[in-house]
Structure 1
Amino acid sequence: MEQSPNITSSPSQTNIAVEKFTLDNEEQKNKIKKLLKHVEHLVFPFLVGFNWKIEENNTLNIIYQSFAKDKSVANYISQKKESGTFIDEQQILEFAAQGALTLAFLHGQDIIHGNINIQDVFITNDGALRIGPVIFSQKIQEIKLEEEKQKMKQSEANEKQSLKQQDLHNFGEVLFALAELKEFSNSTLKIEQQEQTEQLITEQFIHLPDGPIQKLIISLLVDKQIAEKFFDKPEIKEFIQNCIEAPTQLLPSDQINRTLIQFSSYRYQLAQTLVTFAQFKYDHLLNPREDEFEEYTDMIKWSRQQSVDLACPLSEWICAACVNIVVIKWGAEKYGFKYGFVKELITLVCSDIPLEEVNYIHTNALKLFFDYGYQKGIKIDDELEMVKQIIRNMKSADSDVIDETAETIQIIVSKSRIDYHELNEHPNYEIYQDNGIIAYLFENGLQKEGLPDKTKIFTASAIGILFCLRVIPDQMRNEVIKELKNGINIEILVQQRDSLYVLLGLSLNAETNKDTGQIPKEDEFLQVMIKNGLLLKLLELLNDESLESSDKDDIAIIIASLHKAARMPDQFKDVVMNRLKEMKVNTWMGIVLSGLAENIENHADIVERDFIKQLSNLLNNTPDVTEKELMVALNLFELGTEETQQKVKEAISQRRIQALMSSRNGNIAKVAKLLDDWLLFLS
């Protein structure tokens, strides 16, 4: 069963499954999952969320997180009627501001709500308005009727604009009902002349006095163009700003609850920030401020002193805002590390918030800081302490949380090495091993029942990186290697490449190599890559002029390594071999040439393209020669023609080979002795 993260309800909430859909095929299922995943992770202070699950019989249940009926606006109005009290203008303005923020947030991302009415808008315990969850019936039907949708594509933009206007009109009806404690009569809207319509609507107002709030509601109900600019109304903007900067001025002194006032101020501030990002056009990036995360650090510290009911929603909004900052403001993450925000975020997400309350929003924010940070070359001094906190979330019951946590650890482990592309022992291996982190990862990221596939691949990659050039313990070896093999079949190119590199790194250890089954053999990885079209995808990327040179080097190495002991097809040969020839000599070159040399049909390419010169550099001028470089020469001797053997002989210094015969590494000494025998035989 596939499902979204768990949603934890407050005492005033209840989860009610209100919609079921039968999914007809896998393509339809994947499109709908993508839609739901995208919208599900949109967090906003004045919007109710939802979750979903797909049963084994391909039935989709959308479970809307709904407030109990006694919290609906309809019930709120009934209670006011019974008590004979009306809602004052200031409160109506506050509800209007909260709705304006929510609709600006949704519409800024081209999301139509589609179900705003007095039964599906709610009033929380602290008096805030929350619009019920976005309804997906229409969107799902569009996906199920994809062909018809394509025919209607021209009118789609106009229809979407009309639906946005309808959202705003419907919210106007909710505000009218709150102001007058009765439902709005739509009959007045049938009159075509706008002036007459406005007059008739004005006559429906009995309790709300004529003034800016009444005019604001009328504009939502009548004037579509004005309604679209609802969020930009001066009275709305001013009210929101006052709620952020001077919230106590909006209440009588006897109604001031300092904690709730501060919470409300943060809520408005974060809502306004999220609206700004929702309306941002990604045609350029913004420059970050050095104090970018200072206010969010203060919010986290404040939330630490509050109850779970306040701390949990606030933490989600903070994380959602920070994700946008990292993505939109180039280099912002460095200030998050520099001024301690990331440490506070780790403590919040991995300690302060109960494990059952942690969700995708929290862990995704954490992952992005490390991912973007390492890309910008950030160095982290207290890596171990951070990882020790982060791994707590591997025990979550939420599959998205486990996935994001495993990927975060993989990022930290892989990018904290001195040079990610060189084959070196991991500098922090002993620390991870001695503190039990490797064992913890293996137990919770590979052995636990029901783990997502991606979690196991990320975890195996992290463990494999830590064991680069080392022997993996017997109890871990099979599981780690199996999941790394699965990693090359994943749709994410970066993960394919990472998995291949980790497997190749493990293969350098002779004892591990026996269990990997000679990793790049044709009958395993090459056939998997061919069947899934991944090999052709790599070739396509290798020919992509926009791709960075270093990435092309990586891809050429991967393609060549896949053809260990196999003839490289003509469609790959020229571009891959030429790329390898241009590359700087490194340890990977020894691995690649060693594998290619196992097939005699590749010998001509190795010799003709002057790889013998590369081999000479590897064997004669590289201080730390490995067994793989020596195996290139040995394979060419044992399998090559007389011409190939002579060219290899001329490229190798016999004095250097004889010196390697006394190497402390038994495998190197053994291969060097075999090479020396060949040199003597051919002399």
Structure 2
Amino acid sequence: MKILALFELLEHLSFPFLSAMNIKSEINNTICVEYQNLLGNTAEQFIQKQIEQNKEIDEQKLLDYASQGALTLAFLHKHKIVHGQISPQNLSIAEDGTLKFERRIETKCKSIIGLCRYIRKSYLAQLLVDITGASVQDRLAIVERGEFIELVNILKWAHKQNKELSRPIQLWVCEVVQDLINENKQAAIKGFEQFEIIQQLKELLGSDLELEEVKFVHANALKLFTTYANSDKNKKLMHDIGLAQAVTQNIKSQCSGVSEKSVMTITNQLIFQVDIYRNLGQHPYLEQFSKDGIISALFNDGLINGKSERTKVTSAYGLGWVYRATPLPEEMKSVIINQLK
């Protein structure tokens, strides 16, 4: 359904000043759209209270709201999305003083941590605007000016904060990474040259986030690096930091997109360009992946209980690679062969 596909695009669209939305396709062919619950007063009520209490309205705060709103509109327009009517009635101010512009806008900060968050959110917002609609060469130029290093610093900062502060920032970093390297192999290769960005994403998905917190954007940002790994050397780098082990748990995700991207992340590391053809001995990762439960997870969670056909096929393909020169276990053989027919 084209309409459902469009809604799914909106669901995965992430930006610092947009609220979340969840799309559900119901059995009766209807589409249910759940929006982030925006608590607090509308902007109109806020202004009215300021007038009634004879308070001066903070001009700097209004400028903050206006600039963030402009960034949000620029981002939406680059995605060829028209927002619709914007008025004080459909803007909301939360209890913490945050203005909700359709989804989210951050206000003037009152603490050092708040200031750091504000600066990082504004930086990520501007970066997302720059990236949206940019050509492959323009996105590569953004990477070459050292943005991966800044993104690493932001992830390190977020790692030390509480979930309320860190989770939105981590999500937007992944959105930036995804948009920079999607269909942009050269930009991804730059990531291997600045390998710490891959290490930080691995820590995010493997340690920082609980299973239910991992979203499609998190999983896809890391998966894209494995897609564009241009050499067996880079695949070995990912293996050596335990990247496959970090994402194995996410195959169990209730989100089919997360499960699918996690399986792809592992399978991409199993495919070698040269060595396995020259030496048809045991796959170099077979023993370790068996010991760590990765083979079992690919078979049971990915192939047997996979939430999409692509997840099942990719799991079977990965298992076929890891057992390429080794007899398939009897309990797996018929299932893998039937899936790959």
CA distance, structure 1, for counterparts of residue 236 and residue 227 of structure 2: 12
Equivalent position to 1:301, from 156, 160, 165 = 156
Amino acid at match of 1:438: I
CA distance, structure 2, for counterparts of residue 102 and residue 285 of structure 1: 20
Q: Say whether 1:280 aligns with 2:143.
A: no
Partner SS, residue 374 of structure 1: coil
Between 284-293 and 317-326, report the one with greater CA deviation: 284-293
> How much has 1:276 moved relative to structure 2?
0.7
Residue 91 (structure 2) aligns with: 121
Residue 291 (structure 2) aligns with: 434
Between 390-399 and 115-124, report the one with greater CA deviation: 115-124
2:251/2:297 contact within 8 Å kept: no
Amino acid at match of 1:312: R
Residue 56 (structure 1) aligns with: 27
Equivalent position to 2:114, from 239, 251, 260 = 260
Amino acid at match of 2:59: E
Amino acid at match of 1:326: I
CA distance, structure 2, for counterparts of residue 300 and residue 270 of structure 1: 12
Q: 1:60 to 1:272 in 2, by over 3 A?
A: same
Residue 199 (structure 2) aligns with: 343
CA distance, structure 1, for counterparts of residue 233 and residue 4 of structure 2: 35
Equivalent position to 1:101, from 58, 68, 71 = 71
> How much has 1:261 moved relative to structure 2?
0.6
CA distance, structure 1, for counterparts of residue 41 and residue 63 of structure 2: 19
CA distance, structure 2, for counterparts of residue 474 and residue 368 of structure 1: 33
Partner SS, residue 439 of structure 1: helix
> How much has 1:376 moved relative to structure 2?
9.6
Amino acid at match of 1:406: V
CA distance, structure 2, for counterparts of residue 423 and residue 119 of structure 1: 67
Amino acid at match of 1:92: L
Amino acid at match of 2:248: I
> How much has 1:373 moved relative to structure 2?
2.3
CA distance, structure 2, for counterparts of residue 417 and residue 354 of structure 1: 37
> How much has 1:458 moved relative to structure 2?
1.2
Deviation string for 1:486-507 (max 9, x for gaps)?
xxxxxxxxxxxxxxxxxxxxxx
Between 284-293 and 303-312, report the one with greater CA deviation: 284-293
CA distance, structure 2, for counterparts of residue 419 and residue 61 of structure 1: 48
RMSD: 2.8
TM-score scaled to structure 1, two decimals?
0.46
Identity of aligned residues (%): 33
> How much has 1:56 moved relative to structure 2?
1.4
CA distance, structure 1, for counterparts of residue 277 and residue 147 of structure 2: 30
2:231/2:273 contact within 8 Å kept: no
Equivalent position to 1:443, from 300, 310, 314 = 300
CA distance, structure 1, for counterparts of residue 139 and residue 217 of structure 2: 22
Q: 1:417 to 1:125 in 2, by over 3 A?
A: farther
Q: How many residue pairs get matched?
A: 337
CA distance, structure 1, for counterparts of residue 139 and residue 112 of structure 2: 37
CA distance, structure 2, for counterparts of residue 376 and residue 462 of structure 1: 16
2:263/2:302 contact within 8 Å kept: yes
Q: 1:417 to 1:60 in 2, by over 3 A?
A: farther
* Correspondences of 1:69-84 after superposition (within 5 Å): 70-84=40-54
Q: Say whether 1:412 aligns with 2:266.
A: no
1:45/1:317 contact within 8 Å kept: yes
2:226/2:268 contact within 8 Å kept: yes
Q: Say whether 1:368 aligns with 2:224.
A: yes
* Correspondences of 1:541-580 after superposition (within 5 Å): none
Amino acid at match of 2:112: R
> How much has 1:107 moved relative to structure 2?
0.7
The structure with higher relative contact order (CA 8 Å, sep 6+) is 2
* Correspondences of 1:18-417 after superposition (within 5 Å): 30-68=1-39, 70-132=40-102, 256-281=110-135, 286-287=140-141, 288-289=143-144, 291-327=146-182, 331-339=186-194, 340-374=196-230, 378-383=234-239, 385-415=242-272
Amino acid at match of 1:481: I
CA distance, structure 1, for counterparts of residue 278 and residue 178 of structure 2: 28
Deviation string for 1:218-242 (max 9, x for gaps)?
xxxxxxxxxxxxxxxxxxxxxxxxx
1:66/1:132 contact within 8 Å kept: no
1:320/1:361 contact within 8 Å kept: yes
Q: 1:282 to 1:382 in 2, by over 3 A?
A: closer
Q: Mind listing any 5+ residue stretches in structure 1 that lack a counterpart? A: 1-29, 134-242, 244-249, 486-683
Deviation string for 1:427-455 (max 9, x for gaps)?
2222222333211222221233x622221
Residue 499 (structure 1) aligns with: none
CA distance, structure 2, for counterparts of residue 95 and residue 284 of structure 1: 29
Q: 1:55 to 1:379 in 2, by over 3 A?
A: closer
Q: 1:127 to 1:280 in 2, by over 3 A?
A: farther
Amino acid at match of 2:3: I
Deviation string for 1:384-431 (max 9, x for gaps)?
611111112112221111111111111111247625799664222222
2:131/2:139 contact within 8 Å kept: no
> How much has 1:258 moved relative to structure 2?
0.8
Q: 1:49 to 1:416 in 2, by over 3 A?
A: farther
Q: 1:354 to 1:77 in 2, by over 3 A?
A: farther
> How much has 1:292 moved relative to structure 2?
3.3
Which aligned segments of 4 or more residues in structure 1 are displaced greater than 4 angstroms? Answer: 281-285, 419-425
1:291/1:335 contact within 8 Å kept: no
1:46/1:129 contact within 8 Å kept: no
Partner SS, residue 82 of structure 2: coil
CA distance, structure 2, for counterparts of residue 284 and residue 259 of structure 1: 32
CA distance, structure 1, for counterparts of residue 269 and residue 190 of structure 2: 18
Partner SS, residue 472 of structure 1: coil
Amino acid at match of 1:56: I
Amino acid at match of 2:252: K
Q: 1:60 to 1:428 in 2, by over 3 A?
A: same
Q: 1:409 to 1:417 in 2, by over 3 A?
A: farther
Partner SS, residue 293 of structure 1: helix
CA distance, structure 1, for counterparts of residue 136 and residue 299 of structure 2: 40
Partner SS, residue 275 of structure 2: coil
Amino acid at match of 2:73: L
> How much has 1:50 moved relative to structure 2?
1.0
> How much has 1:60 moved relative to structure 2?
1.2
CA distance, structure 2, for counterparts of residue 474 and residue 272 of structure 1: 54
1:394/1:445 contact within 8 Å kept: yes
TM-score scaled to structure 2, two decimals?
0.88
Q: 1:71 to 1:423 in 2, by over 3 A?
A: farther
2:281/2:326 contact within 8 Å kept: no
Q: 1:112 to 1:379 in 2, by over 3 A?
A: same
1:292/1:335 contact within 8 Å kept: no
